[in-house]
Amino acid sequence: MISVLPACADRATADASATAWALAARAGDPEAADHFVRALHGDVLRYVTHLSGDPQTAHDLTQDTFARAFSSLHRYEGRASARTWLLSIARRAVVDNLRRAAVRPRIADTTDWQTAAERNQPCDLPGFDEGVALLDLLQTLPEERREAFLLTQVVGLSYEEAAGFVGCPVGTVRSRVSRARVSLDRLLLDSETLSTEAD
């Protein structure tokens, strides 16, 4: 319990700073705008990567999120933390991107696009295969559980912040995260069993 308190305090301090920078950027301070982006860029990038399931477009989605944020910064009043506000914008950016992709499917220059995509992946990085496997497992979760899990376990929001972000009670977020963990544990165990049987 004691080790959790400093992390919560650090998160609250970081959120307060990011919110102050957003408000100062709204007033026209370019240095505050830079601090705001630097403070939350990693969180937005992780969130859109996992929410979209497409690491290739994550940087574009992150830029889109900040572009949208700066264009509507004049309306931001600091009632919610800047992190929560920005992640809600990121969520809309991902949804809009998925809608656009559904309307305009990608066209590949090759007949064997899967092999071409696999060749372009940095497979020699440590943990790459495990990361791909985890992304695949996360995609099998129901959307509400996946989002709650990503917000709390990947992005690092508290259960209270995640509840405010998705608009449901804290207990619902806790339940969704718990169920997501149970599902992921079961899926990992199943995949390990299949792997062992295949050997």
pLDDT for 78 equals 87
Gap between the Cα atoms of 16 and 83, Å rounded: 9
| Range with the poorest average pLDDT among 14-23, 32-41, 94-103 | 94-103
pLDDT tens-digit readout, 75-132: 999 888 898 899 889 988 988 887 777 666 555 555 565 565 555 555 444 455 555 5
pLDDT for 195 equals 59
Q: Which residues contact residue 24 at a Cβ distance below 8 angstroms, ignoring those fewer than 6 apart?
A: 32, 33
For residue 2, pLDDT beyond 60: no
pLDDT for 38 equals 93
- What is the SS3 assignment for 81? coil
